[in-house]
Structure 1
Amino acid sequence: MKRLVFAASLLAFGPITAQAADLAPVRMPTKIPAQQVGNWTGFYIGGNVGYGWGSYGASNSTGTFVNTNGGSAPFGFNAVSGNGNGVTAGIQTGYNWQIDQTVLGVEADWQYINSKVSTGNSAIPVLAAVGGSFTGSASVSTDWYATFRGRVGYAFGPALLYATGGIALAETKLSANATGSIPTSLFPLTYGPLGSMDASNTAVLVGYAVGGGIEYALGAGWSVKGEYLHMGFGTNGYNLTGSLQSPAGLTGVIATHVDIKPSFDIARVGMNYRF
């Protein structure tokens, strides 16, 4: 009797065991890890190139000519205003701290810029006491600028979107020249040389810089970026003083003053290497 029960059990469970052996193993679902955010923490250094749109607003141009032999007369340069656009290129360095997806940083950069505006026939005084007149030209130029800025950004994937702002410096130069003539004969009317002068004044201006950009990590510490900056420097006064040496025997000092308000808009692309 026991043998019959055992045999029946084998017949009952045998097919079930065979079917279970044929079933594929069941895999438990696994949790998909969240996308990793790139690590922006660390020092970096790099370079950039771009284009700058410079604006120079001038006003309050006044001046005098003082004759060393006595007497004076009004003298002024016409206001030098206009746009001085040109290529910009330079280097930057900084440090980033990343907290979750927030990136805080500081950056300093030094840039060359080819920005100049000039005007002709700017030196037009009326020297009534002498009877002569001058013609000439004046220009305003900027050769370099530098910024010291903070940055705050948001990292998503390999990209970093940021805003930036801080202090800006720029060296701006005002130059002027004048050449004078005086009547030497009335019948016929002829002119002779009255003299000439050249003068310039250079100042390092302090202003502000604001802007933003996007940076993209390429891997192995390298990244590329695109950036926009606006820089403003307020109104700054320039004083020009030049000595006039005249073959006609007129000597003296020409002193003039002009107020200039420069500003710049910069668009540039660059590359950084993070240590």
Structure 2
Amino acid sequence: MRVAGLLLSTAVVALTATTAFAADLPSRAAPPVYAPAPLPVFTWTGAYLGINAGYVDGTTRFDRTTGVLANNNASLNTGIRPTRHTIGDDGFTAGGQIGYNYQLGGLGGFGGVGSGIVVGVEADAAYTDLDRTDTFSNTSNFGALVTPGAAATTRVNQYRSELDFLGTVRGRVGYAFNQFLIFGTGGFAYGDVNRRTTYYGPNADTTPFFQGSNNGIKTGYVYGGGIEYALTANSFLSFLNVFHSSAVTIKAEYLRYDLGSDTLTFPAVGAAAALGLGGYSERVRTEGDIARAGINYKF
């Protein structure tokens, strides 16, 4: 009996010790579940301003040339005066823009959260360094009044085209995939142009016989498209936010501009006017392509 009591006491002590030891062991709870932080939702709604720079490829066409008098038309028909010419010129362009976007939706349409249609309007003005003069000559046996002659006669003809700046006012429509925007654009274009045609006298490459110019602000249309990306706060390009705006975006775009056509007249001048040699008229058109990149500060 005493043995049985002794065994029971020993078992109780052992059980108590085991329970206390287990309480001191570290718990084995389930490991925490880490959910990825949601991507920041960007909205394109808001005003912005920025700068741009790129490449411009311009074309000025002089064509449909007609003469005032019979001798003028004879010069065109015989080829001693050109009936058309195209000046191609390319160079650098740089300027600035200002605009406003409004994003429709953004709660999770096609493309996920932050996606939606973006509409807006943008105005810009840019310098262009397009300025070119083409000069060429021909030699024939036609005299001053386009009559066949024995002596060789050389005539110099010259065309000049210049575009000092180009501006546009455009609508923009696109689709945003959160921070990434694809857009199309189109609207009104205007530019300061200078176009001139000079036909020099027979064997007198410094004496204009017929000359005229068409210059000033010309208007037309523009269209194109591009892509734009909003930088995140931790982007390696975040140093670009020198104005501490609410967001910085970078863009690349293509624009096609057309400033319409005008009639350029170039009458007889100097000695040719004194001789009553008439004059010419032609159609002139300025157009081109722009590829550029830019940065916008959204406020």
AA partner of residue 255 (structure 1): G
The alignment-based identity, stated in percent, is 27
Total equivalences in the alignment: 256
Q: Secondary structure at the match of 1:22?
A: coil
Question: In structure 1, what is the equivalent of residue 270 of structure 2?
Answer: 245
Aligned pair partner of 1:85 in 83, 87, 90 = 90
Question: In structure 2, what is the equivalent of residue 185 of structure 1?
Answer: none
| Counterpart-to-counterpart distance in 1, 2:202 and 2:22 | 119
Question: In structure 1, what is the equivalent of residue 256 of structure 2?
Answer: 230
How does 1:35-114 map onto structure 2 within 5 Å? Answer: 35-64=39-68, 73-74=72-73, 78=82, 79-98=84-103, 99-100=105-106, 101-102=115-116, 103-114=118-129
AA partner of residue 126 (structure 2): Q
Question: In structure 1, what is the equivalent of residue 221 of structure 2?
Answer: 207
1:266 Cα deviation after fit = 0.9
Q: Which has the higher helix share?
A: 2
| Counterpart-to-counterpart distance in 2, 1:116 and 1:80 | 16
Give the structure-2-normalised TM-score: 0.68
| Counterpart-to-counterpart distance in 2, 1:166 and 1:37 | 30
The question of 1:23 aligning with 2:27 is answered: yes
Question: In structure 1, what is the equivalent of residue 135 of structure 2?
Answer: 120
Question: In structure 2, what is the equivalent of residue 159 of structure 1?
Answer: 180
Q: How big is the alpha-carbon RMSD for the aligned residues of Structure 1 and Structure 2?
A: 3.9
Q: Secondary structure at the match of 1:114?
A: strand
- Relative to 1, partners in 2 of residues 1:146 and 1:9: Cα closer, same or farther, differing over 3 Å? farther
1:201-227 Cα offsets, whole Å, 9 max, x none, are 125031232222333424643332222
Give the stretch that moved more between structures: 94-103 or 124-133.
124-133
Give the structure-1-normalised TM-score: 0.73
Gaps of 5+ in 1: 66-70, 183-190
1:17 Cα deviation after fit = 8.9
Q: Which has the higher strand share?
A: 1
Q: Secondary structure at the match of 1:244?
A: coil
- Relative to 1, partners in 2 of residues 1:228 and 1:10: Cα closer, same or farther, differing over 3 Å? farther
1:261 Cα deviation after fit = 3.9
1:93-145 Cα offsets, whole Å, 9 max, x none, are 10112341233221111112122454324799975289998533112222222
1:256 Cα deviation after fit = 2.0
Q: Secondary structure at the match of 2:22?
A: helix
Give the stretch that moved more between structures: 218-227 or 106-115.
218-227
- Relative to 1, partners in 2 of residues 1:171 and 1:252: Cα closer, same or farther, differing over 3 Å? farther
Give the stretch that moved more between structures: 208-217 or 29-38.
29-38
Question: In structure 1, what is the equivalent of residue 111 of structure 2?
Answer: none
- Relative to 1, partners in 2 of residues 1:12 and 1:149: Cα closer, same or farther, differing over 3 Å? farther
- Relative to 1, partners in 2 of residues 1:201 and 1:252: Cα closer, same or farther, differing over 3 Å? farther
- Relative to 1, partners in 2 of residues 1:117 and 1:64: Cα closer, same or farther, differing over 3 Å? farther
- Relative to 1, partners in 2 of residues 1:38 and 1:198: Cα closer, same or farther, differing over 3 Å? same
The question of 1:137 aligning with 2:172 is answered: no
Question: In structure 1, what is the equivalent of residue 284 of structure 2?
Answer: 260
- Relative to 1, partners in 2 of residues 1:24 and 1:166: Cα closer, same or farther, differing over 3 Å? farther
Q: Secondary structure at the match of 2:43?
A: coil
Give the stretch that moved more between structures: 172-181 or 214-223.
214-223
Question: In structure 2, what is the equivalent of residue 270 of structure 1?
Answer: 294
| Counterpart-to-counterpart distance in 2, 1:14 and 1:110 | 85
1:84 Cα deviation after fit = 1.4
Question: In structure 2, what is the equivalent of residue 188 of structure 1?
Answer: none
1:168 Cα deviation after fit = 2.2
1:16 Cα deviation after fit = 8.6
